[in-house]
Structure 1
Amino acid sequence: MFLSVALLILIQSAPVVPVTVTSRSPGVEVHEFSDAELSCEFRTETDKNPRIEWKKIDKDVSFVYYDGSFVGSFQGRAEIKGATVRLRRVTQTDAGKYRCEVSAPQDTVTLGETNVTLTVLVPPHTPSCDVPSSALTGSLVQLRCRDRHSIPAAVYTWYKDNSALPILQANATYTINENTGVLTFQKVSRADTGQYHCEARNGVGPGKSCLGTRMQIDDLNVAAVVSGVVLLALLLFLCAFGGFYAHRHGLFSRHRGRSFWIPQCHGAAHISSQNLHRTEHTQNSGYSHPPKEPQDFKHTQSFML
């Protein structure tokens, strides 16, 4: 009797092994257009046929493998063995976090999961380079180099006349940020004239360089600047003097008078008040013009207000 009770207690106190899910490679890095393996291994307590699901965790959660088949863009280019998934010819759109979920309804703990992060490596592309063609001595000049496609992010090396510019050099007149690709001259001199290009590298593939561009540094022409300022001042003085002279001699004044429109047989004639005054003086002097036919009337003089 005592032996039976002890055996029962031993059985009830035996540890329960719930469903467990792990991955041999929680972080996977592969080159673009190569295959990627997303490892998922599980162990159940009693359930011999658990349900396996794969999901991609972005801003939204989407299924990769569900109800025994692949979903969406993974159809036809993925396969599963056990719970491990193999993706063929991955691209940047495949990069991200994936979750393997194993459900065992017959176990004490019915659900287990593990995450796998996929990083798709992209070699450098030809960077875009911004090199000014000219600058004046003593000015601040920045040269820029950028590759927006490489993964991981590229580091940059600048070249002058096909010779690499050291990042750290005593008494250098420039600074280089190899992470942002910016080459800065606080005060350029004529000695900085030359052909510049940069190279992008990230350790995934061969480095890529942009085409070289010549930057010419010239001294500031002080005599030309002074001459330009003097010429501009002279032109402004002449314009002001001409306006004052014209106004002083009445070139901007206007004759004042009123205009009238007198209907005629075939239209309307425009007669100014000065013409009317001129007609009144003529009548007072006893002289009258010969009559004119309406069609012979011509407008000879008019002053508008």
Structure 2
Amino acid sequence: MDAMKIVALPLLITLMQSPVCLSVTVSTSKPKVEVHEHTDAVLSCEFRTEKDQSPRIEWKKRGKGVTFVYYDQKFNGPYEGRAKIEGATLTIHSVTQKDSGEYRCEVTASKDHVNLGEVIVTLNVLVPPHVPSCEVPGSVFVGAGLDLQCKDKLSVPPATYRWFKDNKALTATPDTPYSIDSNKGTLKFKSVSKTDAGMYRCESSNNVGAPKSCVAQQLKVTEYPLNMTVLIAGAAGILTLTLLCCICVCVCRRRGCCKKNKKTKSTKSYNPPPPPPPPIRNLKHYKQTQSFMI
């Protein structure tokens, strides 16, 4: 027993002489917060200090850069006048999609041995569906391909889409002449027929608010006019004839049928030489028979 006291006494003295590690601790009861647009968002931040009773509290938003939300005991930028702080818990009033992101609560206790503690809270602002933009052409020819587009870029989470024809929901099956992508909002026809004409509209939804629909638009399906058909047929015939002529010329050249004869007759005109002058007659010796005296 005495031996144990002898061993424990130096250990106790060592513990009493060693410095006590005093530190600030920061935590949150809800690291991920989801609220609807235009409501209040409460970002929880609790702290405990060992010695410092008046720590410095800061809130920052992390994004492409760092935005100071609460600094030097006041709110900054877009948070001024629309936020409050209780202890270290931050409340943002009437949030919008721009408020979504990561927020960092920092508590600095200068009198503690470890004087900085922090915690991150993620805010996600949910946005109900908006009226989608619908692209429906006024008319299309029979047999043509067709893509109808529907987009809602503002809803969070991203919307899913449904298409309606004459107020009846369309459901794609292997037997239908169209296909639907509910995530991209496309309605595709490989080959339009006259029965596909009607009033088309699109509806977006994301389970945050009520679905929203665009105004129905009329789609007309018409046949090609006769003159257009004749024009297309004539153009196709001319193209085919031109192609055949080109093929024939190429084949002829390869077989040597179209080579020019190297020996060609001269095409220069022949001009005969001028006729020779008339022959000079032989003069007889002239004998003087009479002399004249002047």
* Secondary structure class of the residue paired with 1:90: coil
Conserved 8 A contact 1:27-1:116: yes
Larger radius of gyration: 2
**Which residue is 1:126 aligned to?**
131
Partner residue of 1:189 out of 193, 198, 201: 193
- Larger displacement relative to structure 2 (146-155 or 220-229): 220-229
Match of 1:4 among 9, 19, 22: 9
CA distance in 2: counterparts of 1:103 and 1:151, whole angstroms: 35
Question: How many residues are paired up?
Answer: 231
* Residue equivalent to 2:223: 219
The 1-side partners of 2:232 and 2:48 are apart by: 86
Q: Which residue of 1 aligns with 2:91?
A: 86
Contact 1:25 1:116 survives alignment (8 Å): yes
Tell me the alpha carbon deviations over residues 249-296 of structure 1, each in whole angstroms, 9 at most, x when there is no partner: xxxxxxxxxxxxxxxxxxxxxxxxxxxxxxxxxxxxxxxxxxxxxxxx
Matches within 5 A, 1:155-304: 155-167=160-172, 169-222=173-226, 224-226=228-230
Give distance in 2, aligned partners of 1:76 and 1:35.
Answer: 13
Of the three residues 50, 65, 71, the one matched with 1:66 is: 71
Is the CA contact (8 Å cut-off) linking 1:55 and 1:65 kept in structure 2? Answer: yes
Once the two structures are TM-superposed, the CA of residue 10 in structure 1 deviates from its matched residue by 4.4
Helix, strand or coil: the match of 1:198?
A: strand
Shift of 1:177: 1.1
- The one-letter amino acid of 2:175's match is N
Amino acid at match of 1:197: R
Q: 1:18 to 1:224 in 2, by over 3 A?
A: same
**1:159 Cα deviation after fit:** 0.4
What is the TM-score with the length of structure 2 in the denominator?
0.72
Task: Give the secondary-structure state (helix, strand or coil) at the position aligned to 1:8.
Answer: helix
**Structure 2 contact 21–114 (Cα < 8 Å) conserved:** no
Normalising by structure 1, report the TM-score: 0.69
Q: Cα RMSD (Å) of the superposition? A: 2.5
Select which of 107, 110, 113 maps to 1:108: 113
1:85–1:224 Cα change, 3 Å: closer
1:223 Cα deviation from its structure 2 partner: 5.8
Distance 2:227 2:39 in 1: 64
- Point out where structure 2 has 5 or more consecutive residues left out of the alignment: 1-5, 236-294
Please give the alpha-carbon distance, in whole angstroms, between the structure 2 residues aligned to 1:109 and 1:85.
24
Structure 2 CA distance for aligned equivalents of residues 190 and 12 of structure 1 = 95
How far did residue 34 of structure 1 move?
Answer: 0.7
Does the 8 Å CA contact 1:16/1:45 hold for their aligned counterparts? Answer: no
Distance change >3 Å, CA 141–CA 6, structure 1 → 2: same
Hey, which bits of structure 1, 4+ residues long, moved more than 4 A? 10-17, 227-231
Cα drift, residue 131 of structure 1: 0.5
CA displacement, residues 63-87 of structure 1 (integer Å, 9 cap, x when unaligned): 1111222222222221111110111
For structure 1, the residue ranges without an aligned partner over 5 or more in a row are: 232-305
